[in-house]
Structure 1
Amino acid sequence: MTPPARQVVHILGALDVGGAETRALELCQALPASEVSQTFVCLSGRKGELAPQFLAAGAKVIPLRISWRPSFVIQLFLIFRRHRPAVVMSHVSLTSGVILAVAWAARADQRIARMHSTGDSHDTGMLRRAYRYLAATLLGVTAQQISGVTQSSLDWVQQHGATRRRIAARSVVMPNAIDLDRYRPPSTPPPLGPGGTVLYLGRASPEKNRAHLVPIQRELLTLGPWKTLVAGEGGSDDLSKSLPEGLQLLGARSDAPDLLRQANVLVLPSFREGLPGVILEALATGVPVVASDLPTIRELAETMPGIWLVSLDEPVHVWAEAIQIAARSADAATLRGSMVDSQFDLKKNVSVWRDAWSA
């Protein structure tokens, strides 16, 4: 007799286009709903633009707007009781401590907090610091496992709260992975002469620091006829009103693999990152990466070739020179080969999550 599907309930903001959401979708598509039945509770109160693809993969999607009213806690408790999940997996940073407390009350067998970044987008005022302390303390009590995409993301969590030792003892690095079948080098490499094509893939949010692309492109033009393609949702208010020649805004796009195959270099000038899926996508496509020297990306660069790190304190000519060097030095076959059968290969990663959810 076929065993019943294991019930997994995820808690996150919304199923919008983003690294964590895209990775969750690929994992959902790779695991049949007959084996793992996944439900996504979206705390923004809306499902998000990727929701139809999650539904097509057999998942359930429930919008529920977060608030600090007792009614929210009751609604969340009733969702857990109705679905009776074997696993509750919360993706909402330190707030996962509160979410998993409700899951504990609803008698969820496994309670996992998933950490995707080395911080949050909130201020550092007294009330926010107090909230972080209380939420992290609760996390150490309610989470049976704290899963981080990198060690740096776990280090950030372990800085907060009164249960730091318990958090450290329950922490484990479990990186995201990508579907390598979607990301393959082009049969003919994109042209590279005195100039080339730089690609940025990501939404317009403050931590992504897209404004830095403008002076970088101006500097690149002093080296040759370079162009920079900027793809991602969120408009262009974060960029200069006077864009340099060669910088093209593509808006929201759903054809990331095709865009990567047109690029000589991917650039990522972020202030903060977790484990950027776009870097993995670029390496799988044979495209080198020039990125901010951040702890999480540094971890990745220590194990994967093709990543050039530049401090945001460096002048833009250093960024432009790194882009030129990366474009001329990287070997597409080597970058692609480093991804195959690595921990970032979805085919291998699926078994890791299958084991984690059946523990």
Structure 2
Amino acid sequence: MRIFQVITVSEFGGAQSVVANLVQGLNDDDEVFILYGGNGEAWKPLTRKVNLIKICEHRKEVSWKDMFLVFKLLRLRLKYKPDVVHLHSSKMGAIGRIVFNPKTIVYSVHGFDSIRKAFRKFLIVERLLKNRAAKIVGVSQYDVDCLREEGISHNVELVYNGVADHKADDTASLEDSSLKRKIEDIRGKYSKVIMCVSRISAQKKFDLFLDIAKEKSEYAFIWIGNKEIINDLPSNVFCLGETHSAYIYFRYADVFILPSNYEGLPISLLEALSFGIPVVASDVGGIGEVLDGKNGFAVENNVLSFTSKIDYVLDDSRNQVMRLNARDSYLKNFTIDKMVKGYTSIFKAIYNKGKRS
């Protein structure tokens, strides 16, 4: 099969991780292209042969410049004649469904609430283009249900995100020495480390993270993923900036938390589980489908809900069991193999139907 993976931006993030992990797991006989915007850092770890084509600069917003993008994609369609076109992000999902043959299109919705709650004006676009895809994929049952509530249902399927298993890797050799020293110094001063790996944006509730930290001042709260230096933090809060392969540092965490206004199925949460780290996260998007009280908790967005479950998870009588459950839930449900099987079955069905027609 000749497969296009098409995504708006290529800096490290959830959707980009899905693309990279999926590409790695596809059959070696498949000819894979990644059409992307931005600088392409997310593709640097790839080890298989992939055709990388930069189609635009990093630009999430819609503008008149997207007319050039439309023509560029159309030219690539005519030149390479892909068997399957896999679209990621709402912007590329819209442009791609206009440009490419709908019978070849798979459109992954990486968190439908980003449209329903944050950018509701784009709902009309989703409804207008709902039939211009062979398959629309929700990354959680929550997303599938939300799509159906908006009248998008007949071609919708669920495929959970999956992440690579790095627990047995020699992650210490990959660590940034400066960042490692900072975290080890923090661990030396506090009995427990509560960690969050995420960018800081309107979607993420960084203010709630700070309020939780103030309430649990006996623990260190580490945030990895902030672009800017943040001043005037509580003494037990440490924002350590961006880093490649942030999952490396989960081995220093006792609990992973993720306060958020909306989500699809967060990659960082699944990575924490893969390292056997229990999770306390906002009960939004597909998070409640992952956390079952044995591997962690999906909670309301308030300080008490988070702090009470953090205390529960850290209790010595149950912590080790929860760690084992976290790891086990990852192995059963959220491996790359499971995600690849889900998408491969969709791709093959589209390819075989195209060959018969």
**Range class of TM-score, shorter chain:** 0.7 to 0.9
| Kept in 2: contact 1:228–1:247 (CA 8 A) | yes
* Distance across 2 between alignment mates of 1:286 and 1:260: 9
Does residue 120 of the first structure (1) align with residue 114 of the second (2)? yes
Look up the match of 2:40: 48
* Cα distance in structure 1, aligned partners of 2:81 and 2:130: 23
Which of 201, 204, 223 is matched with 2:200 structurally? 204
Counterpart pick for 1:171 among 141, 156, 181: 156
1:10 equivalent in alignment to 2:2: no
Distance 2:10 2:308 in 1: 37
Q: Is the 8 A contact 2:7 2:92 kept in 1?
A: no
Tell me by how many angstroms 1:194 deviates: 8.8
TM-score (norm 1): 0.81
Superposed CA deviations along residues 105-147 of structure 1, whole A, max 9, x for unmatched, are xxx652111011132379878xx62x431x1233222111110
With a CA cutoff of 8 Å and minimum separation of 6, indicate the structure with the bigger relative contact order. 2
Question: 2:153 is paired with a residue of what secondary structure?
Answer: helix
The one-letter code of the counterpart of 1:52 is: K
1:86-165 equivalent positions in 2, closer than 5 A: 86-93=83-90, 96-104=93-101, 109-120=103-114, 129=121, 131-133=122-124, 135-160=125-150, 164=151
Deviation of residue 159 (structure 1)?
Answer: 4.4
Question: CA, structure 1 residues 194+219, in 2 after alignment: closer, same or farther (shift >3 Å)?
Answer: same
C-alpha distance in 2, partners of 1:123/1:354?
31
> Does residue 226 in structure 1 map to residue 219 in structure 2?
yes
Looking at structure 2, the residues matched to 250 and 101 of structure 1 have their Cα atoms a distance apart, in angstroms, of 41
Secondary structure of the residue aligned to 2:194 is strand
- Distance in 1, matches of 2:85 and 2:340, equals 17
Alignment partner of 1:311 out of 275, 300, 323: 300
Q: Which residue of 2 aligns with 1:326?
A: 313
Distance 1:284 1:346 in 2: 11
Partners in 2 of 1:39 and 1:262 — Cα distance?
36
RMSD: 3.0
Q: 1:99 to 1:257 in 2, by over 3 A?
A: closer
Matched, 1:346 2:330: no
Mark the runs of 5 or more structure 1 residues left unpaired by the alignment: 1-5
Please tell me whether the aligned partners of residues 294 and 326 of structure 2 are also in contact (alpha carbons under 8 angstroms).
yes
Distance, in Å, in 2 between the alignment partners of 1:94 and 1:151 is 22
Gaps of 5+ in 2: 171-183, 350-357
Q: Which of these residues, 261, 269, 285, is aligned with residue 271 of structure 1?
A: 261
Residue identity matched to 2:26: L
SS in 1 for 2:257: strand
Question: What is the identity percentage for the equivalent residue pairs of Structure 1 and Structure 2?
Answer: 23
Structure 1 residue 249, shift from structure 2 partner: 1.6
SS in 2 for 1:169: coil
Separation of aligned partners in 1, 2:326 and 2:191:
21
Partner Cα distance (1:81, 1:101) in 2? 14
Tell me the number of residue pairs that the alignment of Structure 1 and Structure 2 aligns.
Answer: 326
